[in-house]
Structure 1
Amino acid sequence: MEYSLFTKLAAEFVGTAVLMVFGNGAVANVELKNTKGHHAGWLNIAMGYGFGVMFPVLMFGGVSGAHINPAMTLAQAINGMFPWGDVLPYIIAQLLGAAVGQLIVYVTYYPHYKETDDPEAILATFCTTDAEGSRSNYFLNEFFGTLMLVLGALCCLTLPWGENDHAAASIVVGFIVWGLVTSMGGPTGPGLNPARDLMPRLLHAILPIPNKGESRWAEAWIPVVAPILGAIAGAWLYNVLFV
């Protein structure tokens, strides 16, 4: 069944919002003061992001492709796998969905934002940073992490076994994200998605949160540019090796 562009954009909007609620919601549960999950640990965060990708792909993969990531949309278009005319509408829907999802996290954790006095913990619930303060390390981790994500997702969802069993392929994609966060997420977070970092960082800058500190705009280009380049490389490898 071919869906209208409006329906596809609605799927990208809702799917990206779901990603933010599950992913950054898990970070907020771990990092913010006096939550039920305070200090629950990195595996709790990894699980949140894994489910945050798995569920939208299950829900909307058959509608819009469930890119839920501007890097994935651009990478597919550049590699001839997605129509250029739909790129800008998809990205706008993803950015808006990321903003709405982050707002839901902010509203539901509002009392805990007020109680938290650690600026780094607050910032972590919105966007990524490099644990060592190294921009080159930041870039490399976001690049290679997104490359692995896009290559893995395309292999799962478009090779014959995935096309024949979309639900199973969607679950595996969720596990890829879960695995990437546990294995490669230590240095940066990770982001792997420009919308997941840019829009929450913007909200961090404008929302009235006590003790929130700086939004670190000087490095904000890294989790936007590096995932896009990594995604392009991942989609190119997929085309060269498996198509």
Structure 2
Amino acid sequence: MSGFLGEFFGTMVLIVLGVGCGAGVNLRKTYAHGQNWMFVTLAWGMAVTFGVYVAAHFGADGHLNPAVTIAFATFGYFPWTQVPGYLLGQFLGAFVGAAIVIVQYYPHFWQTKSEADGNTVGIFATAPAIPQPFFNLISEIIATFIFIFALLNLGDFSAGLKPFVVGLLIMVVGQSLGGTTGFALNPARDFAPRLAYTVLPVPHRGNTHWEYAWVPVVGPIIGGLIAAGLERMI
């Protein structure tokens, strides 16, 4: 139960802070409107940092990410018995986090009346800068491989100042590899907020682009498996 609660609350905090940044940057009449990519990657990095801290406080490992959980379990870094609880916590936490952001920015969604104005699924989920599914998938595989391979070499990344190091890792991955697809790295981070944007009453909702949604789910899982498999081999 501690694993579920930790992953739920940790992922909720991750999404509130990360998707909240997306809302602030994109929606009209916010003080953060129009901020740059550095602002976005820094916010997501710190969102992961504090999500890991929250998860660890509740007794979880701070994965916050099905790609991490599945890769770690596949190659013996994490017990399979805990995988269902971790995955459930991650997806539910991400959905609730997205719902909180919708409430926080509700008047700004009303003011942002179209996709052209910024009311897009990109607030909640990722999208390719150039839509080419094969290369978009490769981008997510590479970015997640680098993230999880580095993560595996941090040891217990929920201890001490290591969550801050994980946040810096997320930030640099976003700055160096995230410009192609928005660096999902995390199926729960993309799928659940996209679902929230689809099913919750968001004013002037734009296209939810479910035709792309498989890429930020499949790509991170493949990238994570390659990273954990390589780490186990060497």
Same-fold status (TM-score > 0.5): yes
Alignment counterpart, residue 184 of structure 1, candidates 177, 180, 186: 177
Which residue of structure 1 aligns with residue 53 of structure 2? 58
Alignment counterpart, residue 133 of structure 1, candidates 126, 131, 134: 131
Relative to structure 2, which stretch is displaced further, 228-237 or 114-123? 114-123
Which residue of structure 2 aligns with residue 16 of structure 1? 11
Find the residue that maps to 2:201 and give its secondary structure.
Answer: coil
Q: d(CA) in 2 for partners of 1:169 and 1:223?
A: 26
Find the residue that maps to 1:66 and give its secondary structure.
Answer: coil
Displacement of 1:14 after TM fit?
Answer: 0.3
Letter in 2 for 1:211: H
Which residue of structure 2 aligns with residue 98 of structure 1? 94
Which residue of structure 2 aligns with residue 81 of structure 1? 77
Q: d(CA) in 1 for partners of 2:231 and 2:47?
A: 24
Which residue of structure 1 aligns with residue 218 of structure 2? 225
Q: d(CA) in 2 for partners of 1:18 and 1:171?
A: 15
Which residue of structure 2 aligns with residue 154 of structure 1? 152
Which residue of structure 2 aligns with residue 206 of structure 1? 199
Conservation of the 8 A alpha-carbon contact between 1:129 and 1:138 = no
Relative to structure 2, which stretch is displaced further, 89-98 or 121-130? 121-130
Alignment counterpart, residue 142 of structure 2, candidates 141, 144, 159: 144
TM-score by length of 2: 0.93
Conservation of the 8 A alpha-carbon contact between 1:157 and 1:170 = no
Relative to structure 2, which stretch is displaced further, 188-197 or 211-220? 211-220
Find the residue that maps to 1:219 and give its secondary structure.
Answer: coil
Displacement of 1:215 after TM fit?
Answer: 1.1
Displacement of 1:209 after TM fit?
Answer: 2.6
Displacement of 1:134 after TM fit?
Answer: 1.3
Displacement of 1:7 after TM fit?
Answer: 1.4
Conservation of the 8 A alpha-carbon contact between 1:130 and 1:137 = no
Q: d(CA) in 2 for partners of 1:49 and 1:149?
A: 14
Conservation of the 8 A alpha-carbon contact between 1:58 and 1:167 = no
Unpaired segments of 5 or more residues in structure 1? 1-5
Q: d(CA) in 2 for partners of 1:127 and 1:119?
A: 14
**Are 1:7 and 2:5 an aligned pair?**
no
Displacement of 1:189 after TM fit?
Answer: 1.2
Letter in 2 for 1:129: A
Query: CA offsets per residue over residues 13-52 of structure 1, 9 Å max, x none?
Result: 0000011011111111111111010001111111111011
Which residue of structure 2 aligns with residue 3 of structure 1? none
Displacement of 1:228 after TM fit?
Answer: 0.5
Q: d(CA) in 2 for partners of 1:195 and 1:220?
A: 11
Find the residue that maps to 2:153 and give its secondary structure.
Answer: helix
Q: Which has the higher helix share?
A: 1
Letter in 2 for 1:42: W
Alignment counterpart, residue 29 of structure 1, candidates 17, 24, 32: 24
TM-score by length of 1: 0.90
The 1:188–1:118 alpha-carbon spacing in structure 2 relative to 1, beyond 3 Å, is farther
Conservation of the 8 A alpha-carbon contact between 2:3 and 2:82 = no
Alignment counterpart, residue 116 of structure 1, candidates 104, 109, 112: 112
Unpaired segments of 5 or more residues in structure 2? none
Q: How many residues align?
A: 231
Identity percentage over the alignment? 36
Find the residue that maps to 2:203 and give its secondary structure.
Answer: coil
Query: CA offsets per residue over residues 155-179 of structure 1, 9 Å max, x none?
Result: 1134xxx69xx22322111100011
